[in-house]
Amino acid sequence: MVNSIINSHKSIIFLNGTFPEKKIFNFLNTNVPLIAADGAIQKMHQVGLFPTYVIGDMDSYNNKYKNVKLIKVSDQNSTDFEKCLAYIQKMNLSPCLIIGINGGEIDHLIGNIQVILKHVGKTPMYFLDTYQNKNHIGIKLGIPVTNRLAFTTKKNNCLSIITFEKAILSTTGLKW
């Protein structure tokens, strides 16, 4: 079930946080628009990916990358992440998979969480990370839930459930 959720996306947004293990990208559908939020293009190149678009105010963009479509949005009242989400909404490219949401500077992480809370009802999105458990590297999927979500998963999959508002939670068979 996790793999079908991961590959149901219509676009991937790359933020400038920590990326999952490079080999995880072999399991993703990258035949969709790949969107770098401004400076994330450098990290994309490190894992062998090239963006379809770079979106943001271009304060972190390095001009050494040629043949990329730049979408400059000078508005300083929104983050580059929000600018990417606005583009996703406009072009009907959701659900979107988001990579690099955590790590980096703490103010960016907190800002990303605020963007999630602000936009989760408007734009279906989910987040990909990896975890290491002994000798195993696994996929960790984050799904913001505003109403209801039902799914099944296999034994030993890692799941984080985080609520930001009042929530009623029901699970079966999870080991804490």
- We report the CATH number of the domain holding residue 146 as 3.40.50.10240
Tell me, yes or no, whether 173 lies in a domain: no
pTM recorded for the entire structure: 0.80
Which of the four pLDDT bands, split at 50, 70 and 90, describes residue 163?
A: low
Is residue 19 scored above 80 in pLDDT?
yes
Query: How many structural domains comprise the chain?
Result: 1
Q: Which of 33-37, 45-49, 68-72, 94-98 has the highest mean pLDDT?
A: 33-37
3-state secondary structure the chain: CHHHHHCCCCEEEECCCCCCCHHHHHHCCCCCCEEEEHHHHHHHHHCCCCCCEEEECCCCCCCCCCCCEEEECCCCCCCHHHHHHHHHHHHCCCCEEEECCCCCCHHHHHHHHHHHHHHCCCCCEEEEEEEEECCEEEEEEECCCCCCCCCCCCCCCEECCCCCCCCCCCCCCCCC
Tell me, yes or no, whether 174 lies in a domain: no
Is residue 2 scored above 60 in pLDDT?
no
Position 12 scores a pLDDT of 93
Position 1 scores a pLDDT of 47
Which of the four pLDDT bands, split at 50, 70 and 90, describes residue 23?
A: confident
The domain of 71 spans: 2-159
